[in-house]
Amino acid sequence: MVETITEADIAGAERLLGLAYTAKERAQMVGNLDGQRDLMIARRDLRLDNGTPMACRFDPRLPGFAMPHGIDALHPSEITAPLPSEPEDIAFAPLTNLSHWVRSGQISSRALTDLYLARIELLNPRLECFATVTPDLARAEADAMDALLGAGVWLGPLHGIPYGLKDLFDTRGITTGWGAEPFQNRVPDSDAAVTTRLRAAGAVLLGKTTVGALAYNDLWYGGWTRNPWNLNEGSSGSSAGSASATAGGLCGFSIGTETLGSITSPSQRCGTTGLRPTFGRVSRVGAMALCWSLDKVGPICRSVEDTALVLAAINGGDVRDRGSIAAPFHFDARAGIEGMTLGYLPEAFEDGATDVDRAALAAAKDLGIKVKEVTLEDLPYASLMTVVYAEAAAAFEALTLEDTDDTLRWQDDGAWPNTFRKARFVSAVDLVQTDRLRYRVMQALGEMMSGVDALIGPFSTGPMLVASNFTGHPCLHLRAGFEDIASRSMASLGAGKLTTGDAAGETTFTVPQGISLWGQLFDEGPLLNLGMALEKKLGVADRRPTFPN
């Protein structure tokens, strides 16, 4: 039986919400709060599954926005490099090269698939980056792609290329466990939209890459996904397995998702190139929902141009996804960057920035384009996090109401279930006001980006990680250099903290560090052209991990 609400209960709730009412105001409210509470309890009796979307939908476009392109166009670089003799050189090759070798018959899709399956068998026990491996399916798909090529049919740049799919995308008849114990035996009866589009593009599914439980961190029901550059630390999350497998040369490319750093953070940790496209560009149908107004789907690769080939394959509107926005994707590898203007926030390169960050900015200034300081309106950007907490708590309401989260391998009290419970004490009024703040943030970033083609900065320094995820702007994160540092502790986002500080004599590891570029809404092409130029200037993309313990 639910007890009657008293004035003392209201006074206690005020402290949780940061409010202060008078005794008279509490007396006025107390009579009708029972009914308000009972309506909420009655709604909870209707169980909403993860696939039921919100009626409200987020649109990143401000008034007056016009799509920058009218039709799709993909013009990749012409590759003439011959097939290497060493399997490892093939495994770590850019997707552009792999595509050329398969199309020209220098290597069959079956041989490439077997090469990657062998690396998975050898290295997955150490990296724990694949939750499920599908060798029979992969070989069958590869054989089918070879047969099509033999018949003169080429499906595009991904034809015959083996890849890893983050284990929150449905794959018919194949376990899709969301990284979490309550769902580890979940087997969907249909494919996600991304799964279908990649199959249509000719890509070969090697298996499901690990995801931190319910898209948090790099811990999952089967273990702890590791960074190939230092096996003593995790690969960050939540696209943990996708970044680890790609960085380790266990696949040609992979697919990740980002709500708030889940593509860029593991790319920072593992040294991969991650592209978080504009919100709404890629369908999320058949993908686990964490936050309906924030979730985005994108590629994780080993070079900038590779991300364009993958995005072209998965791009497209989908009426089944309430957040989907039909937008052409236009990329031409031959396009130059002459005349571009790159902005940066000077404070982002001060406290908290690394030598690699500053060197990346210096390299950008040497590209022959205009680089200028910009400013961003001072707003309480961190307050937007309330939206993440509330939407995620709603997406997994049953988990905490029924206490099934007790089966999860959480490492500290800051993990998702505790956050879900705390979100119950966010007021509806504050949530609406936070949504209005989000619109102000859209205006602020729109104003800042109006004078530049792109912005450069450390991905987790300053407001841009949070702000750009909430505005829906695209972000490209690429390797910029290396640092010698001690093993880092578990962290959901970013570099994490040193486990034992930097005491003298502590073992250090050479690990990659990256830099982020943010671009204009639905105009990823110029962003990638700029990224290609910066990647070439920095000259660190080809270095491979040695999997040190």
- Give the active site residues: 166, 238, 262
Task: Outline where DSSP puts E strands in 273-327.
Answer: 273-276, 296-301
**Residue the block writes with tokens 């997955």:** 124
Closest by Cα among 458, 510, 514, 459 to 486: 510
State how far the Cα of 100 lies from the Cα of 154, in Å rounded to an integer. Answer: 11
Contact status, residue 228 vs residue 547, Cβ threshold 8 Å: yes
Tokens of 1: 């039986």
Closest by Cα among 127, 62, 55 to 438: 62
Diameter of the chain measured on Cα atoms = 83
Could you give the angle at which helices 7-17 and 23-44 cross, rounded to 10 degrees? 80
State how far the Cα of 380 lies from the Cα of 441, in Å rounded to an integer. Answer: 9
Signed CA dihedral, 18, 24, 27, 33: sign only: negative
Cα distances (Å, whole numbers) of residue 346 to 373, 378, 392:
6, 14, 33
Residues 6+ apart with CB under 8 A from 229: 247, 270, 271, 509, 510, 511, 512, 545, 546, 548
Sort 363 into a burial class: Cβ within 10 Å, 0-12 / 13-18 / 19+. buried
Cα distances (Å, whole numbers) of residue 543 to 232, 249, 269:
20, 12, 15
* Amino acid of residue 516: S
Cα distances (Å, whole numbers) of residue 422 to 17, 37, 38, 260, 380:
11, 17, 20, 19, 20
Cα distances (Å, whole numbers) of residue 196 to 157, 199, 256, 364:
16, 5, 16, 38
Contact status, residue 404 vs residue 375, Cβ threshold 8 Å: no
Contact status, residue 54 vs residue 393, Cβ threshold 8 Å: no
Contact status, residue 373 vs residue 344, Cβ threshold 8 Å: yes
State how far the Cα of 256 lies from the Cα of 240, in Å rounded to an integer. Answer: 9
State how far the Cα of 39 lies from the Cα of 55, in Å rounded to an integer. Answer: 19
Helix, strand, coil percentages, rounded to 5, for the chain: 40, 15, 45
CA dihedral of 316, 526, 305, 456, whole degrees rounded to 10: -110
Contact status, residue 208 vs residue 131, Cβ threshold 8 Å: yes
Tokens of 85: 């003799």
